[in-house]
Structure 1
């Protein structure tokens, strides 16, 4: 009796190989989609954080600058919905005594030097604020002073003021008055590299400060009077609403462009 040996081969059939390839492709596709989705989420979150930082930084910077101006003192030179030109304070000193045409003052911020044009706060009647006003003058000399002149222990400087714009008598520059230097600055939108930034224009040229922001409505100013109504009279401005908006090219999960905005109401000094 003869026996027949049957040879059996191990391995995968063609159908099994096709199934494995299909499953591997599905798994790879799913992993790729997860990675792409995660990348979009990370990008969206990053753009959202950058947008928040941009609007906060821009609003805080502008609020700090505009809080120091005096609309009633003529510090607002021009005002538009998307830009404002002001006299920005750079150095200041508090008057604590006088001697003829000279005043004694202690520095509050920065340094006032000979040749500086300054704003001087006058008090014509100490009992009422209706007659107080600002006027311009020129510092013709500066020196140290050994006379405290009620400045306490603070370092005291002696300044000679001349060329008053209103020919006002120096005698009414009394203790408690403020003198300050300024520079003319415009705050608005500046285009740089095809993008819009909150920027500053001064005697040194234009400078992009914070951004990018939305191209057309990235920065808006609203000027309000004492009743909270919009005014076009710079002398009647009592508060300024600043609004900053950002708009990113990135999209959120709903396909919407990532945007952020922030508004703040600033009350300048009198």
Structure 2
């Protein structure tokens, strides 16, 4: 009796090898496309995050300062690309003999401020502020000009007295020292071919604080008695609010995209001490 011995076939046939290579190629190509798609997706997310960060930071910086601006004479100059305002940095009360009693202040903010003038409120009739521009910077004031009768105003802890030059006001009237600050959109020095947001104190050098922005980023304005912002700049004394249209972009473009990622934020800031 003979037994037929079968040997197990070893290795792969050429057909099987070709099929395996084709399957591996298909899976590899699919995995590559998936990886590329995910990489671009996360790149776009990062770009949107960067653009959102630019617009939000711009809003926070300007909102902090512009919300302190007074309605009657706080805006010095305005256009769709720039706005110049009188920004209070020390508040207090007028006493007598050109002496101001000032309240405790933020020492860091005052150290960075550049004196441009002061304003005293009319508490008898109009309720508006009268601005006195320029003059010499305030110096240490005489305490008795405030503490003596009939004024009898004493500075609180960390407060004090300053002597200001210029016109006098009514005793016990609110007043503040201010600096002029300009915000403007211009050609960016940080991101070539884009616009940046600049901040300038007084007549100093404009410093770029954030970029990039699209050309559609602008300032719009709320006119007296209006409830919607307009592009046309009103009479400065009639500006009652400022709309910030912050169309920010990412600094770079994701592969496969024709434009950088963009985020648009609108916010309205209404001025203080509105009497009409």
Give secondary structure in 1 for the equivalent of 2:66.
Answer: helix
Distance in 2 (CA, whole Å) between partners of 1:256 and 1:101 is 58
Q: Is the 8 A contact 2:240 2:271 kept in 1?
A: yes
CA contact (8 A) 1:88 1:185 kept: no
Q: Which residue of 1 aligns with 2:59?
A: 59
Question: 1:105 corresponds to which residue?
Answer: 102
Pair 1:227 & 2:230 matched: no
Please, what is the CA RMSD of the aligned residues? 3.4
Q: Would you say 1:182 and 2:185 are equivalent positions?
A: no
Aligned residue pairs, count: 254
Q: Partners of 1:254 and 1:141 in 2: how far apart?
A: 59
Give 3-state SS (helix, strand or coil) of 1:81's partner. Answer: coil
What is aligned with 1:48? 48
User: How far does residue 141 in structure 1 lie from its aligned partner after superposition?
Assistant: 2.8
Structure 2 CA distance, aligned partners of 1:105 and 1:117? 17
Distance 1:28 1:116, change over 3 A: closer
State the alpha-carbon separation in 1 of the partners of residues 132 and 158 from structure 2: 25
Query: Partners in 1 of 2:49 and 2:128 — Cα distance?
Result: 49
Q: 1:140 and 1:243 mapped to 2: Cα distance?
A: 37
Change (3 A) 1:143 1:130: closer
String of CA shifts for 1:14-56, please: whole Å, max 9, x gaps: 1111111111111111111111111111112112222222211
Q: TM-score normalized by structure 2?
A: 0.77
* Local SS of the residue matching 1:240: strand
Asked whether the 8 Å contact 1:84–1:188 carries over to 2, the reply is: no
Alpha-carbon offset, residue 6 of structure 1 = 9.0
Alignment gaps of 5+ in structure 1: none
Q: Where does residue 206 of structure 2 map in the other structure?
A: 206
Can you list the C-alpha shifts for 1:99-155, whole angstroms capped at 9, x where unaligned? x3333333434449xx944212142xx343356523335445315848764346333
Gaps of 5+ in 2: none
Aligned to 1:79: 78
Structure (1/2) with the larger strand percentage: 1
